[in-house]
């Protein structure tokens, strides 16, 4: 039983990991290869954030402009550190059309997390299946043992004499 569960786990886990990885990356994953990194210039000083306790990862959205790969100037709001000044430059990822995009590293991280969660879920399912099968087999074994004792027990426990 354990060998069968192990074989099923090893056969199904790679498929589940690949499917979860593709699902976690989303539909834009294939287009991430076509994204470009460009310089964005902050057009206004970034506002100070509302103070947050226990957070070292504070970013605010600042107005910026950048040149798209098709040579058209675009504007939008980009995440910048608090207190950034107008004229500062930041690198941003944009699509071929010039719209802001997620960095490729974020998509890779999403893929990795999706694959790891799929493997973890498969392991939990295999562990639960092993526990349920063991419980059922133990009950069947105990029922067979009880039936065997019911058949032979009276012959052994008769009083002789």
- Full-model pTM: 0.54
What does DSSP assign to residue 82?
Answer: T
30 closest CA partner among 97, 99, 93, 104: 104
Q: Where are the domains of the chain?
A: 1-32+102-148, 36-48+59-100
> What is the Cα–Cα distance from 56 to 70, expressed in whole angstroms?
36
> What is the Cα–Cα distance from 66 to 41, expressed in whole angstroms?
6
pLDDT score of 51: 61
> What is the Cα–Cα distance from 46 to 80, expressed in whole angstroms?
7
pLDDT per residue rounded down to tens, the chain (161 residues):
888 888 999 999 999 999 998 888 776 555 555 678 899 999 988 877 666 566 566 678 889 999 988 888 999 998 888 888 899 999 998 888 888 887 766 778 888 999 999 999 999 999 999 999 999 999 999 999 999 988 887 777 776 55
pLDDT score of 108: 80
pLDDT score of 125: 93
> What is the Cα–Cα distance from 22 to 149, expressed in whole angstroms?
56
């Amino acid at each position: 039983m354990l060998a069968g569960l192990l074989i099923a786990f090893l056969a199904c886990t790679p498929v589940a990991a690949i499917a979860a990885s593709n699902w976690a990356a989303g539909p834009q994953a294939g287009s991430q290869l076509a994204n470009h990194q460009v310089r964005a210039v902050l057009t206004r000083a970034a506002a100070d954030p509302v103070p947050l306790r226990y957070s070292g990862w504070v970013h605010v959205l600042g107005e910026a402009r950048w040149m798209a790969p098709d040579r058209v100037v675009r504007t939008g709001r980009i995440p910048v550190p608090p207190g950034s000044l107008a004229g500062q430059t930041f690198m941003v990822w944009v699509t071929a059309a010039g719209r802001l995009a997620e960095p490729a590293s974020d998509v890779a991280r999403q893929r990795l997390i999706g694959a790891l969660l799929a493997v973890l879920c498969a392991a939990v399912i295999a562990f639960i299946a092993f526990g349920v099968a063991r419980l059922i087999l133990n009950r069947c074994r105990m029922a067979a043992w009880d039936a065997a004792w019911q058949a032979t027990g009276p012959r052994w426990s008769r009083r002789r004499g």
